[in-house]
Structure formats: structure tokens, C-alpha cells
Amino acid sequence: MVLELQKPRPIWQIMFSTHHTDVGLLYTITSLTFFFMGGALALGIRAELFYPGTQIISDSMTFNRMFTVHGTTLIFLFLLPFASAVGNYFVPIMVRYKDMAYPKLNAVAFWMIPPGGALIWLGFADFTWYATPPYSAISAPGPAADMWIFAQKILGVSSILGAINFIVTILKCKHPDLPLSKAPLLAWSFLSSSLIIIVAVPTFAAALVMLLTDRLGVSGFFDPAKGGDPIAYQHLFWFTFHPEVYVLVIPAIGMMYEIIPRFSRKPIFSHGSGIFAFVMLSIVAFSSWAHHMYSTGMSFTEKTVFMIGTLAAVPASAMHVFNFLATMWGGRIKFATPMMWAVGGIALFFSAGAGGVANSAMPFDFITHDTYWVVGHFHLFVMGTIAFGSIGFLYYMFPYITGRMYNEAAGKAHFIMSFVGTVMVFFTQHVLGLYGMPRRVFDYMPLPEYIVMNQIASVGAMIIGASMVIWIINMIYSSAKGKEANMEDPWGLGGKYYFPHQAKNPHH
């Protein structure tokens, strides 16, 4: 594979390679770097909220900047690039092609991410990752806000280039003997999510141009003083970013489709229903964006339409969960580290999905809107499902990348601490929301219920942080000193699904 620590290559050879495994490695390292940077900001936020009043962050503006960069980093600089890392590594192998369809374009898409990340971190904008007007259009201080907007433009172009590459690679470059209906479900997950990107992202790109021209004073699309409508921005934003949630979760589900049959030592229960569910999710992803906007004055009929559209995602999501459970049923399951992360991700996916069903109900939404319930729901989905699937798959990729095995005990400790911490943080935030605590606040009333639950959430966050330290030490140490992996069957499972370690590494 790529890293080949037994035969190390100069770093510049990897950096300037256009081979899909090298680009996948660059995506992996970059996304994990941003994961730890964004996670550090989250720990700072939770430490500040441990007690009411000012603790370690000097003022509310700094707090706003921290959670803006935290959210932007983990969504756009960790989750999306990590999915691209997995896709670059495995999609060409799975469709039996020598590389991505456009290798140079693939490298260009990656190299747009570091400057995008630099703009976000150097600017440190303060208007949340929503950039909601009128504040973002009128008052948000520059150049931080402008740097954030330019960064989003760059990252959006990168996503579209990557999506085009995945679509062409899967549809046009797959081996003639491989029918599309027989392609692995991980490849199908990238095909589905790439189609969503192509449809959704240009809408937000247009919104960003309108926002920037508003800030420059040459237009007033979202400025009420000039006849603009801030609600219009929210429609454009959520038309992109509700489907974008599916862009994040669909590859994570695809990763679970690789792990669960492998460690259950059974074929997937129903390959066809997995494909159908991916296609359904790609369609219904666009039918629910306005459920974020029940409280903005929509008519009852419009709200009802989008409530039904939101619920339409439930059967497709349930189909995936049923597939996972039916695959495990009767299997000879080996709970190695990747399998533990995948099973934990399924459990939390179910929990987050149940919260999503509750959110789709109009009366409940009016109670929980802009409270910590929403924070808990979204983070349970992102951390509990998407990050769990991604981290589990990184353990799965580890021997194929390095030729060595990670420390299994440390991997399991990482999972257990992360699972406990995730439940403590995000389940508690659901309850905080029901008690009425608003989100995005620097300080809160010194009510006993608020204090206790914020402290439980903060302790949970610290447990997750400690588990991530174990993880990074395990990864670094095992890369150099870990036991050499049996590349034919690293976990002793028997059987073979495909042979990523046999992928050659031509440099071009």
C-alpha cells in the first residue's frame, strides 16, 4: 500500500503523487489533523461551560469564534475529507480500476483543502457555521467573515471536483465484468453521496456569493434595510446542508457495510436493499430541508409537507439498520476494534434517528427549537454515527496502510471511553434542551439542573478527549513498532473479500 513503513519513501514523493492511495493518505492525515484541532476547541467550550459565569474564555466574542471554527472544522475539514480518504483508497480497488478517473483533478481537489482550512483558522470568524444573516451580512467583523466565505467557496469547489471524480470512476471506469448492481455497497455509498453534492452544493455557492456582495455593500439580498430577506438565506443554506448531512452519513454507513459482514463472517444480508436504501436516502435528502424552519412563519400545509418529507428518511435508514442486524444474526462475530466501533455506531445511529423523528413533529419542534436538544441530536448523529463509523474504518484500514497491527487493548479502551463519553455528553444535552437551556450561549443561569447537567456533559467530553489521546499514541506507536500484520487476513477471520494490500503503487 502507500505508507510502506518498511520501505519508506520521501515525503515529497507522496505529497506530489497523483496515485489514488497517496492522495487517500494525504486526505487521511489532513482530516485527522483537523479532527484534533476541532476537538481541542470543543474541550475548551465544554470547560468554559462547566460552571456558570466566566471560566477560561475571556469574553463571549471569543467563545463565538471558538464554536464557529469548531463546527466548521469538524464538518468541512474532518468528516468530508475523511470520507474522501476512504473513497480514494477503496473505490478504484473495488471497481477494479487502476486509479481514479481523473488523477490530477483528484490531487487538485485535495490541495484545495489546506488553504481553505488556513483561511478558516487564520480568520476565526464568529457567526457560527451557519453564517446566518442579517448579522453575517451587516455586522460580522472582517476580514474574518470574508476569509470564512472564501474558504467555503474553495472547499465547495473541492467537494464538487471530488464528487465528479467518484461518479465517473464508478460509472465509467469499473471493470466490464462488474455489473453496477454487484458493486460493493461502499462504492454505492460514494456514488449516492457524490450525486447529492453535485445537486446541493451549487445552491450554497450561490448563497455565499450573495452574502459576500451584501457585505461589500453592492447588494441587499439578505439585508432587511435594503429590502432583502434573511429567511431566503436560510432556505438556500438548508437546501444544501440538510442533504449535506446525508453526504456525511452515507459514506459512514458504507464503511459499516464493509466492517460488519467481515467481522460477522457472513455475506451482507441483502445487497439489493442496501443499494435501494442509498438511492432512497439520496432522494429524500432534498425533501426535508424546511423542517429546520418551522418557526419562520411557514404555512401549516408547507410544514406538513416537510414533516412527511422528513419522515420519509426513516424507512430507508431502518433498512440499513435491519440489514446490519440481519447480517450479524447467526454470524460468528469477532468483536475486534473495528467491529466494536461499527456496532456502537449503529446503536447511536438508532438513538439519533429516534430523536430526528421527534424533531420532525411540529409541536415538539416549537418546544425544542434553538435549545440544547438540537445540539445533542445533531452531535449524537455526527459524533455517534459518522465519527464512530469513520474511526472504526480507520482501524480497519490500519494494517492495510501500514503493514502492522494496532494495539487491540488500546483500541478497545478507546472505543469504550468514547462510547461512554458520547452518551454522557449528548444524551445529557437532549435533557438540557428539554429543560429549556438555549444553545450557543457563553453563560447560563445558575440553576442546579443546568449546572449538574453541564458538568456531566463536560466530564463526558473530557473522557472522549482522553480516549483520543490513547488513539493517537496507539496509531503513532503501532505504525512504527506494531506487530507485523498478516496481510492476507489481519484479524484471523478467514475468507477474503478483496485485496487492498495487493494494490500496486505506481507513481504518476
Q: C-alpha 186: how far from its chain's center? A: 15
Q: Which pLDDT does position 6 carry in this prediction? A: 45
Over residues 85-106, the pLDDT tens digits come to: 999 989 998 998 989 999 999 9
Over residues 142-201, the pLDDT tens digits come to: 899 999 999 999 999 999 999 999 999 999 999 999 999 999 999 999 999 999 999 999
Q: Which pLDDT does position 9 carry in this prediction? A: 75
DSSP classification of residue 382: I
% helix / strand / coil in the chain, to the nearest 5? 75, 0, 25
495: left (phi over 0), alpha (psi -120 to 50) or beta: left
Q: Are 298 and 290 in contact (CB under 8 A)?
A: yes
Report how far residue 141's alpha carbon sits from residue 138's, in angstroms, rounded to the nearest whole number.
9
What would the DSSP string read from start to end of 72-138?
HIIIIIIIHHHHHHHHHHHHHHHTT-SS-SSHHHHHHHHHTHHHHHHHHHHH---STTTT-TTHHHH
Report how far residue 61's alpha carbon sits from residue 127's, in angstroms, rounded to the nearest whole number.
10
Average pLDDT over residues 116-120: 97
Q: HSE of 147 in the Cβ direction (CA atoms, 13 Å)? A: 19
- SS3 assignment, position 442: coil
Q: Which pLDDT does position 487 carry in this prediction? A: 82
Torsion angle of alpha carbons 107, 113, 116, 121, nearest 10°?
-150
Radius of gyration for the chain, computed over Cα atoms and rounded to the nearest angstrom = 22
Q: Would you place residue 349 in the very low, low, confident or very high pLDDT band (cuts 50, 70, 90)?
A: very high
265: left (phi over 0), alpha (psi -120 to 50) or beta: left
Hey, what's the cell of 360? Answer: 420532525
Please enumerate in sequence order all residues whose Cβ is within 8 A of that of 218, keeping only pairs 6 or more positions apart, or say none: none
Task: Look at residue 82 and tell me whether its pLDDT is greater than 90.
Answer: yes
Cα separations (Å) of 330 from 45, 358, 489? Answer: 44, 33, 22
Q: Are 403 and 449 in contact (CB under 8 A)?
A: no
365-374, 430-439, 478-487, 497-506, range with the lowest pLDDT: 497-506
Cα separations (Å) of 10 from 4, 7, 346, 479, 507? Answer: 11, 10, 40, 17, 12
Report how far residue 252's alpha carbon sits from residue 351's, in angstroms, rounded to the nearest whole number.
16
Q: Are 395 and 490 in contact (CB under 8 A)?
A: no
Higher pLDDT, 337 or 499: 337
Report which residue type is found at 332.
R
Hey, what's the cell of 443? Answer: 453563560
Hey, what's the cell of 197? Answer: 453534492
Cα separations (Å) of 256 from 156, 161, 461? Answer: 26, 25, 25
DSSP classification of residue 287: S
Q: Which pLDDT does position 472 carry in this prediction? A: 95
Task: Look at residue 410 and tell me whether its pLDDT is greater than 60.
Answer: yes
Task: Look at residue 2 and tell me whether its pLDDT is greater than 80.
Answer: no
Over residues 11-53, the pLDDT tens digits come to: 888 888 899 989 999 999 999 999 999 999 999 999 999 999 9
206-210, 211-215, 246-250, 292-296, range with the lowest pLDDT: 292-296
The values of phi and psi at residue 114, to 5°, are: -55, -45
Q: Are 357 and 311 in contact (CB under 8 A)?
A: yes
Task: Look at residue 1 and tell me whether its pLDDT is greater than 80.
Answer: no
Hey, what's the cell of 369? Answer: 427549537
Hey, what's the cell of 132? Answer: 446566518
Please enumerate in sequence order all residues whose Cβ is within 8 A of that of 449, keeping only pairs 6 or more positions apart, or say none: 435
Hey, what's the cell of 499? Answer: 485485496
Over residues 463-503, the pLDDT tens digits come to: 999 999 999 999 999 998 999 988 888 898 886 655 554 55
Tell me how far apart the 2 most distant CA atoms of the chain are, in Å: 68
The values of phi and psi at residue 164, to 5°, are: -60, -40
Hey, what's the cell of 26? Answer: 494525504
Task: Look at residue 272 and tell me whether its pLDDT is greater than 50.
Answer: yes
CA angle 378, 380, 384 (to 5 degrees): 135
Report how far residue 365's alpha carbon sits from residue 374's, in angstroms, rounded to the nearest whole number.
9
Q: Are 385 and 348 in contact (CB under 8 A)?
A: yes
Over residues 381-392, the pLDDT tens digits come to: 999 999 999 999
**Which position has the grid cell 466490464?**
176
Report which residue type is found at 210.
M
